[in-house]
A = this chain, B = another copy of it.
Amino acid sequence: MAKIDDVARLAKVSKGTVSNVFSQKRPTSDEVRERVLRVSRQLNYVPNHTARSLVTKKTMAIGLTIPHGSFFFSLFHTQFINGVILEASYYGYRVLLDIIPEQQVQTPFLTSYPIDGAVVMSPTTNDERIALMHAGQIPFVTVGKVMNEEIAHFTSVDNDNPQIMRSICEYLIDKGHTAIMFLNANALMTVSLDRKASFIQTLEKHGLPVEAHMLHHKPALNSSEYLDYGYAETIRVLGTERRKVTAIIADDDRTAFSTLKALKDLNLNVPGDVSLFVICGDLSMMVQSDPSLTSMDLQPSELGAQSVRLLMNQLGVLQGEFPEHVIVESKIIERNSVSTISS
């Protein structure tokens, strides 16, 4: 690989000038620039990214931190990632997938992170990834609330979770549902706390006490129950325990699909006997399921894009005043999985 000195020598200029031709940080005369570029092409020269990074102190990469061991991500994650990658590319940034494997035997901290900032998905309470970023002075944006004791200020994007749950509950209540079961996300995730609180509050506001069988949390990823959580809970509550449930709210598409399967196995018609509502799902999948699923569109790719913009602002790449917390719109998409109950 040719280096800058080779080019400088052959083009009869100093390395500083070659540097300027490529970085365009200072002007160069047309004559010199062309000579340098010609020689570079001839030598197949390309500036070395690492050497540049060392002095500019920018790696031009951002980390995308996926939750601990989420080796199965849902379609929500997929779309979010797409949003991040696309938006980052607009600013010339690359995305380093920064997943901390379950068994964290890995490098406790052998070296600094080669990233300028990070987007942290699905923070948990007292998230250690966030603690690391905080300690390492790495700018970061979270998707969802940060609930670490030592961290007061942070930048985040989020949906309005309390409002989302309120809307969903009231949507269902309006349609006459009173026996509602909520298959929430994992209890450790900060979003699930908000949603749980809002679920309980909204139901109580309407005079509907929340009983134990109405609220469940997704088990940990490493548990054997993780994959068929929706199926198992539905069979247990509606089948074995014979509870009356007329509407189910599923936290994600995977849970929704497995719930759907359970309902079929229980010989319950959707939406005839039981209505099903999905919180975060992949649009294309929701449409193609049968029945197509009524859901809350959280705009995952928009969440991803916005989180990158906030991060770019923190990095000084994107000028202007940005709010500390961005709320991304979400709205109910009515399809065919929810019905009205005539009282």
Contact = CB atoms under 8 A, between A and B. Distances in A.
A54 B50 contact: yes
B54 A51 contact: yes
Contact residues on A (Cβ < 8 Å of other chain), bracket: 35 or more
Contact of A101 (B22, B89, B98, B101): B89
Interface in A246-262: 254, 257-258, 260-261
A73 B301 CA distance: 13
A112 B47 contact: yes
Interface string A134-166: 011100000000000000000000000000000
A51 B54 CA distance: 6
Interface stretch (A31-39, A186-194, A283-291, A320-328): A283-291
B22 A110 contact: yes
A16 interface: no
A284 B221 CA distance: 14
B288 A261 contact: yes
A202 B169 CA distance: 54
Nearest to A257: B288
B99 A85 contact: yes
B82 A284 contact: no
A111 to B, nearest CB: 4
A94 B98 contact: yes
Contact of A288 (B82, B107, B260): B260
A82 B89 contact: no
A135 B98 CA distance: 28
Contact of A53 (B79, B114, B288): B114
A22 B110 CA distance: 7
Nearest to A47: B111
A252 to B, nearest CB: 12
B46 A109 contact: yes
Interface in A210-256: 227-228, 231, 254
A61 interface: yes
Given A89-B101, A227-B284, A47 B94 contact: no
Interface of A: 1, 22, 44, 46-54, 59-61, 64, 71-73, 75, 78-79, 81-82, 85-86, 89, 92, 94-99, 101, 106-107, 109-114, 135-137, 227-228, 231, 254, 257-258, 260-261, 264, 284-285, 287-290
13 contacts: A47-B111, A48-B112, A49-B111, A50-B112, A59-B114, A75-B75, A85-B97, A89-B101, A92-B110, A94-B96, A96-B96, A114-B114, A257-B289
